[in-house]
Structure 1
Amino acid sequence: MVYYIIHRILIAIPVILGILLLTFFIKAAIPTDAVTALYEGQVTEGEAAEAIANIRAKYHLDKPWYQQFVIYVSDVARGDLGESIRTRQPVMDEIGYRYVNTLLLTFSALAIGVSVGVLSGVLAAYYKDTWIDVTATTFSLFGISIPAFFFGLVLILVFSVWLRWIPVIGSGWQGLILPAFCLGLIEAAPLSRIARSAMLDVLGRDYIRAARAKGMRESTVLFRHALPNALLAVVTIIGLQVGNLLGGAFIIEVIFGWHGIGELAVQAIQWRDFTITQAVILVGAGTYVLVNLIVDILYAWIDPRINLGT
């Protein structure tokens, strides 16, 4: 098991280096950098040229790109994500609580998605070809087809405008309810389909027939023998779902006014503050890699049939 974990960590290192390289070159895609935009129209041409030159030197923008990249990687390795060009505050302070809020939204949505998705998938498989199966299948098709931002607007219209149960923009747990359910119900759709397919496969296995032939209660057969084996497929896909949730959270945070790193990323792009933009993408991608690493380890721990030597 230890060798397997080390092997997976070593595989993740090139991915992380690729993420660092990608985030570094993001600023090259910005037509006008934040340094120029910061002084544009605010000072005279001579003053702007001097100020821009000083800031470029401060942020090493006057050096060749390969030197900038080495400095960038060494700073990240020390936990220094730089300083916002616009606010002049450390990026870690800018991200801080916003990252916690995004994780809270993401994993709340994941808990809702896994609970609803697995339950509906199990019921659909057990009651195959009944109205329960048709309802669950229709729900999953609807969830896969509808965009997250549109579903979010529908929830706001129904629960905030028409029913007035929940404010459009709230703080604390009240502000978390709608965005978490918006993301969670949409992510429950593919999990429901996967859980249904896995349960149908498991319920047709010989050991399930043998358990029923021994006179075991149906609840024991379903939850002690069938469900644990069916959940292996769900665990496999959870790592990918976290990536979808992080991407969806960026959009949902803007719609619901949830103060996470997605909202900060939109603001940073508007400000042309590439330092914050780099940091947000790096943190989001790093979280995705870390979650997938944890899922790989959990999957190997749950399923002993996996060859831990590879």
Structure 2
Amino acid sequence: MKKLASWGLQTALGLLVVSFAAFAIITLMPVDPVEIAIRTWNLPATDETMAALRQDWGLDRPLISRYLRWGRDFLHGDWGRSFRTGEPVRTEFLHRLPLSLSIGIAGLCLALLLALPLGFAAVVKPGGVADRFSRLLSVFTQSTPVFATGLVLIWVFGVQLRWIRPFANDRASLVLAIALVALHSTAVLARVYRKGLQEAAIQPWFVTARAKGLSETQALWRHAHPSALYAVLAAVHSEAGWVIGSAAAMEILFGLPGISQFLVQSISMRDQMVLQAYVMVIALWMVSIDCLARLMMLRLEPRLP
């Protein structure tokens, strides 16, 4: 319980630092959001209109005052209004977030489901088909950008075979996006799991398990698996960060209307409220994955920090 309390305090302080740093950087960008809003919404560019918008958005206040106001409003569910669309940012995000989360979470879960049997088969028969395939997959995913693989798949399945409609925002596009997100993580997690099993297999307690009459496969699954799974869960946190960028690339590549696509459309307009909300959503995603991984790791081994 003390470990979780300490982690919670560190996480809260981390989120506070991230939120202020992002707010300061985004706010100090050399652009006037009022001028952007006037051009986008076709408002009269009068001094009265510009002054009213600045006062309404708190742009005439000091930076600290604006940050405190934004933080209070954010915690109460008011994430501001998009300069580009004129709609509440929270509404825009809630409409698009389920798609982005489905790509990221489904891709990460699929990677775990594929990595464990692949890594286990690789360590049971070193140098076998599974071992060589996992090594080849790891080299391929490390050397080839995910968007390049996606473009090849679009050309094969959409242009040559005509099994899918490119950029159609349909179920086939979503399935391909999830598969591509899972591809990289599968390779990484499978190799981590394989290494964890190998390290456990040289421990004295594993030799004792073999001496009791268990086969190597049985001893690996019953005794080495929990230790190797701990290593996999520790690697999930770093993979969750990669999944963010990969899912964003898939949204753009396949034309999926997630929050990353909305962000790209808002960057050119310097839409500060959207940028700030995106930073916080990503930070909360990382915290959630870290919390889930830590809880599962503590369940496997409560004595470990």
Which TM-score applies when normalising by structure 1? Answer: 0.90
- Report the 3-state secondary structure (helix = DSSP H, G, I; strand = E; otherwise coil) of the residue aligned with 2:268: helix
2:38 corresponding residue in structure 1? 39
**Does the CA-based 8 Å contact 2:82-2:274 persist in structure 1?**
yes
Q: Any stretches of 5+ residues in structure 1 without a counterpart? A: none
Q: State which of 110, 113, 116 in structure 2 corresponds to 1:115.
A: 113
2:214 corresponding residue in structure 1? 216
Change in Cα spacing, 1:41 to 1:256, as seen in structure 2 (3 Å) is closer
1:115-162 C-alpha deviation (Å, 9 max, x unpaired): 222322222222113343222211111112211211221221222222
2:302 corresponding residue in structure 1? 304
Q: Figure out how many residues of one structure are paired with residues of the other and give that number.
A: 305
1:97 corresponding residue in structure 2? 95
Counterpart CA distance in 1 for 2:263 and 2:277 is 9
* Identity %, equivalent residues: 29
**Does the CA-based 8 Å contact 1:110-1:187 persist in structure 2?**
yes
Counterpart CA distance in 1 for 2:182 and 2:126 is 24
Counterpart CA distance in 1 for 2:116 and 2:40 is 56
**Does the CA-based 8 Å contact 1:239-1:291 persist in structure 2?**
yes
**Does the CA-based 8 Å contact 2:197-2:220 persist in structure 1?**
no
Q: CA RMSD in A?
A: 2.2
2:123 corresponding residue in structure 1? 125
**Does the CA-based 8 Å contact 1:155-1:182 persist in structure 2?**
no
2:2 corresponding residue in structure 1? 3
The one-letter amino acid of 2:57's match is Y
* Superposed counterparts of 1:15-30, under 5 Å: 15-28=14-27, 30=29
Displacement of 1:91: 1.0
1:21-52 C-alpha deviation (Å, 9 max, x unpaired): 122123235332332123349879x8344322
1:234 corresponding residue in structure 2? 232
2:260 corresponding residue in structure 1? 262
**Does the CA-based 8 Å contact 1:116-1:185 persist in structure 2?**
no
**Does the CA-based 8 Å contact 2:111-2:183 persist in structure 1?**
yes
1:177 corresponding residue in structure 2? 175
1:164 corresponding residue in structure 2? 162
1:137 corresponding residue in structure 2? 135
Counterpart CA distance in 1 for 2:40 and 2:104 is 40
- Report the 3-state secondary structure (helix = DSSP H, G, I; strand = E; otherwise coil) of the residue aligned with 2:276: helix
Displacement of 1:165: 2.1
94-103 vs 171-180, which deviates more? 171-180
**Does the CA-based 8 Å contact 2:226-2:300 persist in structure 1?**
no
**Does the CA-based 8 Å contact 2:169-2:255 persist in structure 1?**
no
58-67 vs 287-296, which deviates more? 287-296
Displacement of 1:299: 1.2
1:202-258 C-alpha deviation (Å, 9 max, x unpaired): 122233233233222444223222222211100111122112101221122111111
Change in Cα spacing, 1:92 to 1:138, as seen in structure 2 (3 Å) is same
1:202 corresponding residue in structure 2? 200
**Does the CA-based 8 Å contact 1:112-1:184 persist in structure 2?**
yes
**Does the CA-based 8 Å contact 1:254-1:263 persist in structure 2?**
yes
**Does the CA-based 8 Å contact 2:200-2:206 persist in structure 1?**
yes
Say whether residues 1:192 and 2:195 are aligned partners.
Answer: no
Say whether residues 1:82 and 2:88 are aligned partners.
Answer: no
> Which structure has more RCO (C-alpha within 8 Å, separation ≥ 6)?
1
1:277 corresponding residue in structure 2? 275
Change in Cα spacing, 1:41 to 1:169, as seen in structure 2 (3 Å) is closer
Counterpart CA distance in 2 for 1:183 and 1:33 is 37
